[in-house]
Structure 1
Amino acid sequence: MSICVADFPQTWQKPSSEELLAALKQLQVEPPIWNPGTSRKLILETYQNAAQLRREIAAYLSSIIKSSLAWIQDEDEKEAVWDEASRRLAERCGRAGMGEITRRWPLESQASSPFELVIREPPITGDSLGLKTWGSSYLLAQSLGRIAKESLSHIFSLGQSKESLHVLELGSGTGLLGIAAAAIWKSNVVLTDLPAILPNLAHNIERNRSTVEALGGNVDSAILVWGSDDGNAEQFDTKNQFKIVLAADPLYDDDHPELLASAIIAHLAKDENARAIVMVPQRDLATKKLTAKFLSTTIVSGLSVLEQNTLVGQDDWDEDGEDSGIECWWAVFGRQ
């Protein structure tokens, strides 16, 4: 929809609260949703407004927030208008300003019709990286069908039932990747993260459980702290249970490479056919160094790199409206 700020009710016209609220509703920033085949060029054209239009909208919203709205007699109506205008302005300050959102993610399975997963993201405040759905998880989720046919063909060609194919996701966050794996691979997937992340993760699992089960999969969640045996779910007392281990965008701190490698070693089945798949966006020099450190750590820990690839994806909600395309490195690991 083309927006012209001049067509909206202006404060000098003394519009009613209903007119202002209707206009502000039209300016709501919707979460970007990308079909699996959508080109990167179209994504940028669709969801990144021109700089001039962004300035015009920001000025319009500011004019409402600064106005006394003296012609509106009801104080509650004034507050409703100010609150709505403030939300619209915050939405244009990036993902952190948006509060809670729910996003729909379309996916495809080679064995079934296209489907979508519905994922809730709570407000992004403080240390809450696990409450945002990162672009790499969607990129890897989109690739699961091809990975099953190519990199994991030795596993899926065996025709194992979901009960016998156990998959673990490390650092699941909002759960998009793990839930997608359960649906696309028709497998039993356990999604894990820190205690603070689990409530939202569990919510998203329940929201999508019927979709996953209709496609032949099963999904659950549990607490798993890398590098620790304390506070984890009892099911992890038994080590090396999982035929496949997944992780997307798991490296942020200097200690993460060793912790991630130790978690994979602890939970990947001691089977020559078992595989771990890890994707790490190469955002900057620091991330590239963490990736290199993770690679060297896995080799020392007893894992072999069987395959390495790169895919180009998107990190959305860029505050400056800049190109948010990003190269994502991913690799397949097996036991030495």
Structure 2
Amino acid sequence: MSICVADLPQPWQKPSSEELLAALKQLQVEPPIWNPGTSRKVILESYQNTAQLRREAAAYLSSIIKSSLSWIQDEDEKEAIWDEASRRLAERCGRAGMGEITRRWPLEDQVSSPFELVIREPPITGDSLGLKTWGSSYLLARSLGDIAKESLPHIFTLRTSNQSLDVLELGSGTGLLGMAAAAIWKTNVVLTDLPTIVPNLAYNIERNRSTIEALGGKVDSGVLTWGSEDGNAEQFASKNQFKIVLAADPLYDDDHPELLSSAIVAHLAQDKDARAIVMVPQRDLTTKKLAAKFLSIMIVSGLSVLEQRTLVGQDDWDEDGEDSGIECWWAVFGRQ
């Protein structure tokens, strides 16, 4: 149900602190859940329909922040109102302007049993891309059931009911993809990232562990820095131990294609049936060049492309009301 800002208590009415706080709670922006099946037309129409409300809400919040709230005697109550209004305004400045958020991500396993994963995203400050859940991870997570049937039948159809796989996710971030793989594929998944990212990753794993285990999956986490052995968790001392390696949105810098490919070569099992699945959003020319460089390095490293496709979904938090649809390239690699 949409909220009419004009119906909310206005500063000139001198409402109580309780009334103002209740009104500000109503204006809280819920984190979006990307749906790969949503068309760009529907997304654009949604933005257009809410644009006026966003402007009205921003003006209302600004009026409260600028107000001295002189009719409220308690200074702590004033501070609480200003803080709450500031949070509501920050939520309308895009993901980078927000504090910690928690999102719920709906998914289905291979027998169409619905479940959801609850993901915490700390505030994004500085170089903290791994503390945000990127759209491509949800897009790939939603596709895991089909990938098992269409791209990995040699692995999943031959697996007995009590036989587990060893799956590694590189650059797990907040953990959505790796945890989804554990639940949907009903197998063991080790989620990895840099030392600064792993604490939040481990938190999200513990929060969702009971859901994942109820569906037949198991999850663990560890520090794994691409291209370096120093400081990596002990579970990665043995090389080439994972039947499947996953990575979503892993390429940002010029050195990432080589580092990612070296990590896959080092940890993907030598078995000819082993597979690496990588998804890269095609945001701009730079991203496309990084994907092309990664592809060429993988081939030179002895890993060939067995399948490649594109999927279209939403890429990022909406910050300006424009369409955030993005095309994502993904490929399945196997040893030559």
Q: Identify whether the pair has TM-score above 0.5, normalized to the shorter chain.
A: yes
Q: Give the Cα separation in 1 of the matches to 2:210 and 2:48.
A: 34
Q: Give the Cα separation in 1 of the matches to 2:100 and 2:39.
A: 27
Aligned residue number for residue 250 of structure 2: 250
Q: Give the Cα separation in 2 of the matches to 1:225 and 1:17.
A: 49
1:64-90 deviation line (CA, Å, top 9, x unaligned): 100101111111111111111100000
Q: Aligned-pair distance for 1:316?
A: 3.2
Q: Give the Cα separation in 2 of the matches to 1:49 and 1:11.
A: 27
Amino acid of the structure 2 residue aligned with 1:65: I
Judging changes above 3 Å, is the alpha-carbon distance between structure 1 residues 320 and 247 closer, same or farther for their aligned structure 2 residues? same
User: Is the partner of 2:30 in helix, strand or coil?
Assistant: coil
Q: Give the Cα separation in 2 of the matches to 1:48 and 1:134.
A: 24
Q: Aligned-pair distance for 1:220?
A: 0.3
Unaligned 5+ segments in structure 2 are none
Amino acid of the structure 1 residue aligned with 2:290: L
Q: Aligned-pair distance for 1:193?
A: 0.3
**Structural RMSD (CA):** 1.5
Q: Give the Cα separation in 2 of the matches to 1:248 and 1:121.
A: 17
Q: Give the Cα separation in 2 of the matches to 1:187 and 1:110.
A: 12
Q: Which moved more, 1:45-54 or 1:134-143?
A: 45-54
Amino acid of the structure 2 residue aligned with 1:93: C
User: Is the partner of 1:69 in helix, strand or coil?
Assistant: coil
Contact persistence 2:34–2:138 (CA under 8 A)? no
Amino acid of the structure 1 residue aligned with 2:108: E
Residue 318 of structure 1 pairs with residue 298 of structure 2: no
Contact persistence 1:162–1:218 (CA under 8 A)? no
Amino acid of the structure 1 residue aligned with 2:24: L
Aligned residue number for residue 94 of structure 2: 94
Aligned residue number for residue 285 of structure 1: 285
Amino acid of the structure 2 residue aligned with 1:306: L
Q: Aligned-pair distance for 1:110?
A: 2.2
Judging changes above 3 Å, is the alpha-carbon distance between structure 1 residues 47 and 241 closer, same or farther for their aligned structure 2 residues? farther
Residue 210 of structure 1 pairs with residue 210 of structure 2: yes
Amino acid of the structure 1 residue aligned with 2:220: D
Judging changes above 3 Å, is the alpha-carbon distance between structure 1 residues 162 and 147 closer, same or farther for their aligned structure 2 residues? farther
Q: How does 1:116-135 map to 2 (within 5 A)?
A: 116-135=116-135
Amino acid of the structure 2 residue aligned with 1:133: T
Q: Aligned-pair distance for 1:12?
A: 1.1
Q: Give the Cα separation in 1 of the matches to 2:210 and 2:293.
A: 40
User: Is the partner of 1:331 in helix, strand or coil?
Assistant: strand
User: Is the partner of 1:261 in helix, strand or coil?
Assistant: helix
Contact persistence 1:36–1:107 (CA under 8 A)? no
Aligned residue number for residue 56 of structure 2: 56
Q: Aligned-pair distance for 1:3?
A: 2.1
Q: Give the Cα separation in 1 of the matches to 2:98 and 2:81.
A: 17
Aligned residue number for residue 154 of structure 2: 154
Aligned residue number for residue 230 of structure 2: 230
The structure whose RCO (Cα within 8 Å, separation 6+) is larger is: 2
Contact persistence 1:29–1:91 (CA under 8 A)? yes
Q: Give the Cα separation in 2 of the matches to 1:84 and 1:293.
A: 46
Q: Give the Cα separation in 2 of the matches to 1:270 and 1:100.
A: 41
Residue 265 of structure 1 pairs with residue 265 of structure 2: yes
User: Is the partner of 2:124 in helix, strand or coil?
Assistant: coil
Judging changes above 3 Å, is the alpha-carbon distance between structure 1 residues 74 and 319 closer, same or farther for their aligned structure 2 residues? same
Q: Aligned-pair distance for 1:36?
A: 6.7
Q: Which moved more, 1:47-56 or 1:307-316?
A: 47-56
Q: Aligned-pair distance for 1:212?
A: 0.8
Q: Aligned-pair distance for 1:319?
A: 1.2
Q: Aligned-pair distance for 1:33?
A: 2.5
Contact persistence 2:43–2:323 (CA under 8 A)? no
Q: Give the Cα separation in 1 of the matches to 2:61 and 2:153.
A: 54
Aligned residue number for residue 66 of structure 2: 66
Residue 79 of structure 1 pairs with residue 79 of structure 2: yes
Aligned positions, number: 336
Aligned residue number for residue 7 of structure 2: 7
Calculate percent identity across the aligned residue pairs.
Answer: 88
User: Is the partner of 1:222 in helix, strand or coil?
Assistant: strand
Amino acid of the structure 2 residue aligned with 1:284: D
Judging changes above 3 Å, is the alpha-carbon distance between structure 1 residues 249 and 313 closer, same or farther for their aligned structure 2 residues? same
Q: Give the Cα separation in 1 of the matches to 2:222 and 2:330.
A: 25
Q: Aligned-pair distance for 1:236?
A: 1.0
Aligned residue number for residue 105 of structure 2: 105
Q: Give the Cα separation in 2 of the matches to 1:286 and 1:73.
A: 56
Amino acid of the structure 1 residue aligned with 2:198: L
Judging changes above 3 Å, is the alpha-carbon distance between structure 1 residues 283 and 162 closer, same or farther for their aligned structure 2 residues? farther
Q: How does 1:289-308 map to 2 (within 5 A)?
A: 289-308=289-308
